[in-house]
Amino acid sequence: MAILIGKDTRLITQGITGKAGLFHSQKCREYGTNVVGGVTPKKGGTTVEGFPVFNSVAEAAKATGANATMIFVPAAYAADAILEAADAGLPLIVAITEGIPVMDMLKVHNYLKGKKAILIGPNCPGIVTAGVCKIGIAPGPIHSKGKIGIVSRSGTLTYEAVHQTTMAGLGQTTAVGIGGDPVHGLSHVDVVKMLNDDPETEGIILIGEIGGSDEEIAAEYIKKQVKKPVVAFIAGASAPKGKRMGHAGAIIDGNTGGAEAKKQALRDAGVTVAETAAEIGKRMVEAMKAKGK
């Protein structure tokens, strides 16, 4: 089961002839993902490393039966690439690209309202269903098939949580990196709902950071609906106000978006909050035991 992707996923890559796009298409294929081709305008009809290349997403979808895409198109053109994928009817769009203007993402977000396409990212590491399918740039070998679902705004902190749950013998169902931008596709609460409904997922790890109120919204849902053990970590407690900490979304404005308020909202929802990023796995083991799992 797991969520969003699995053995039936047929993936294309938008921007497959670029250095990063091609490298990660190969890495995804090595992991076991069925990568059926890619898109680069004006290079249709060629192949790279065994991947057929098409001029447009619509063309690629028709020829390959693709049902997912990952986007490595440069920031200035990435919003258009997302819209193109949605128009071609692809149900899952994973945007890896970093640095897309917020105004472009506002257009994308509002365009996708009411459409069936699910967007993950942008500025995200992608998604991995352990042992089965990987879309994006996460290192494959740290994953192990298991029972923990992970949702995170940060790439490397996702890896940290994956690694720690692997070392603790818990393993993962699906790990989703939702990205660090202020306007994005799936949010924490969307993924928490999916993981909560997934029978294979027994525990959930939520990794957030300063800025916005995604974590607070997820906390409200967890409080009402989630019986599975949840462990959270919030990055950025030591960050100064008003400075953008790498991620465009990681900035504290005025009195909202602070780490402590997020931690408190999660604690109030019965979530175990890890004080440091080093103890996420340990806290998950304890939380699972406490629930008799």
Partner 1 sequence: MKLHEYQAKAILRQAGLPVPKGEVVFKADEVPAALAKLGMNAGVAKAQAYTGGRGKAGGIKLFKTAEEAKAMAQQLIGMTLVTKQTGPQGVKIEAVLLEEASVIKRELYVAVTLDRGKANIAFILSPEGGMDIEDVAEKTPEKIKKLYPAWGRNLDAALAAEGAKFLGLEGDQAKAFADILEKLYRLYQEKDCSLLEINPLIVNDKGGLALLDCKFNIDDNAVYRQKDTGGDENAEKDPSEIEAAKYGLSYIKLDGDIGCMVNGAGLAMATMDIIAHYGAQPANFLDVGGSASEEAVTKAFEIISSDKHVKAILVNIFGGIMPCDRIARGVVNAVKTTGLKVPLVVRLEGTNVKEGKEVIDKSGLDLVSATDLEDGARKAAEVVKSMKAGVAGGVSGSKGVK
Active-site amino acid positions: 247
DSSP for 163-207, written as a single string: HHHHHTT--EEEEEE--S-SS-SS-HHHHHHHHHH-TT--EEEEE
| Site stretch for partner 1 (CB under 8 A), options 127-135, 150-158, 218-226, 284-292 | 150-158
* Closer residue to partner 1 in complex, CB, 92/183: 183
Residue ranges in 220-249 that form contacts with partner 1 under rule CB under 8 A? 233, 235-240, 243-249
Helix (H, G, I), strand (E, B) or coil at 42: coil
Q: What share of the chain is helix, strand, coil (3-state, %, to 5)?
A: 35, 25, 40
Please state, in angstroms and rounded to a whole number, the distance separating the CA atoms of residues 68 and 85: 9
- In the beta sheet, which residues pair with residue 133? 129
Residue 290, interface with partner 1 (CB under 8 A)?
Answer: no
74 binds partner 1 (CB under 8 A): no
Q: Which amino acid is at 36?
A: V
Interaction with partner 1 in 124-143: which residues (CB under 8 A)? 125, 137-139, 141-142
Q: Answer whether the bond into residue 139 is a cis peptide, omega within 30°.
A: no
Say whether residue 275 binds partner 1 (CB under 8 A).
yes
Q: Which of 100, 118, 178, 284 binds partner 1 (CB under 8 A)?
A: 100
The pair of structure tokens assigned to 144 is 């192990």
| Binder among 20, 46, 267, 290 for partner 1 (CB under 8 A) | 20
Residue 258 contacts partner 1 per CB under 8 A = no
Rounded Cα–Cα distance for residues 39 and 69 (Å): 10
Binding positions for partner 1, rule: CB under 8 A? 20, 23-24, 75-76, 99-103, 106-107, 109-110, 125, 137-139, 141-142, 152-160, 163, 180, 182-183, 207, 209-214, 217, 233, 235-240, 243-250, 254-255, 259, 275-279
